[in-house]
Amino acid sequence: MASRDTGRNTRGETSTGTSAPDTAGLGARRAALQAVAEIIGQERPPALEETLALAIRAETLSPADAALARAIAVATFRRYGLIRAALAARLERGLPVEKPRLTALLATATAQILDLAVPDHAAVDCAVRLAKGDNRTAHLAGLVNAVLRRVARERDAILADSADALAVNTPDWLARRWAAAYGPERAAAIARAHLAGAAIDLTPRGDAAAWVEPLGAVRLPTGSLRLPENGPAIPDLPGFQEGAWWVQDAAAAIPARLLAPQPGTRVLDLCAAPGGKTMQLAATGAQVTAVDRSAPRLERLRENVARLGLDVTVAVADALALEAQDHDAVLLDAPCLATGTIRRHPDVAWTKSEADIARLATLQAKLLDHAAGLVRPGGRLVYCTCSLEPEEGEAQIAAFLARDARYRRVPVQPEEVGGAAEMIDGNGDLRTLPCHLPDVPGARGGLDGFFASRLERVG
């Protein structure tokens, strides 16, 4: 049975063992409702981060209420399969999918009852008030009240049905794919890791050991630092202002380390925003050019680079339009389905589709072929994606090596990932899974699902 104590921490992340404030929080709940409704009501929905940011801004929420809104919205998608099933079983005509506003209202309130440490009466009362305050749902306030009170009464029974996270909280198409790619047991472990959520990892600019005690962090085998739950806000931590570290998932930090550029070498970072890998590369003393087609996302990269005092050339451009150049190293973090980030972004499981894979794989192949022409002979190319889908990782590299004889694989060695040999596949490529690193003393385990292949141009 899941813990009731899944709430929010002072950094605004969902977490286990925390408490949300016992306040009315109507604006926070309205923002969460708005963000969720916009996603479930669209055929090709935007990311939750985008809808949440807009909703929080519209409500002019305080930092505490913004964190509560975020916690509610994330919890809704983290258990969306269970929530939908529970509501459908308690509505005479099933879940009203044709009414996204009502579905979102019921779902966000149910998420609070099942997963957040807020009083049931607060979750129910606020949902009823939100229903009455909206012409689209005012006439259904009585239904909302009755259904949510029943959910609260039957909470333990509902959660008792959620033990199989793969069957209950994972879309069928993803569950089927992961079972085929990684085996039923590993697929189930991935789903359980998603349900547990994500800790906050930092990439240190210098010696990681020097920051363990000041931050109260755990040093992971891969070299990242993992923060404990419920610590101070990120900007209030030691080392933030001076740029001693930055927030970056432990798995996302590995590909740039595999490239391992020397000071002064010319490195091209393609699809670079928001810039965690860019900062890693620049911190080595390499001459880094960061390229991305999104100007707004690159603005965040510029801000981070400036805070750290790093020297990076930033260019708004389409990677496929870059002319052939002779770089010592190229890092291609290709656009992908992002199913490796579900533990941190649970909406991904419910907003992407299997049909997206072929389109993305085609783009990845084009980017990989083009990136290959930007590396000098003897230089290195690292291709990576934050996806669990083989078509975006293992199959992509196999096809590339079959059509481009100029490149060979440089296998990842266990010592490069802290001895975690389970993160290296049979070909010598990196393959992290959310269920890897399950036991981290004093912090949540797991890391994002990532694929990376290190290639050398030999011709």
Task: Indicate which residues carry an active-site annotation.
Answer: 386
Q: What is the three-class DSSP state of 118? A: coil
Q: Which CB contacts under 8 angstroms, 24+ apart, belong to 258-262?
A: 258/382, 258/412, 258/416, 258/430, 258/452, 258/454, 259/329, 259/331, 259/380, 259/382, 259/454, 260/284, 261/286, 261/328, 261/329, 262/286
Return the number of other C-beta atoms located less than 10 Å from residue 454's C-beta: 23
Query: Which residues have a Cβ under 8 Å from the Cβ of 31 and sit 6 or more positions away?
Result: 52, 55, 56, 58, 59, 61, 65, 66, 69
Q: What is the largest CA-CA distance in the chain?
A: 72
Q: What angle do CA 323, 325, 328 make, to 5 degrees?
A: 145
Torsion, Cα of 30, 34, 37, 42 (10° steps) = 180
H/E run at residue 450: strand 450-457
H/E run at residue 430: strand 430-432
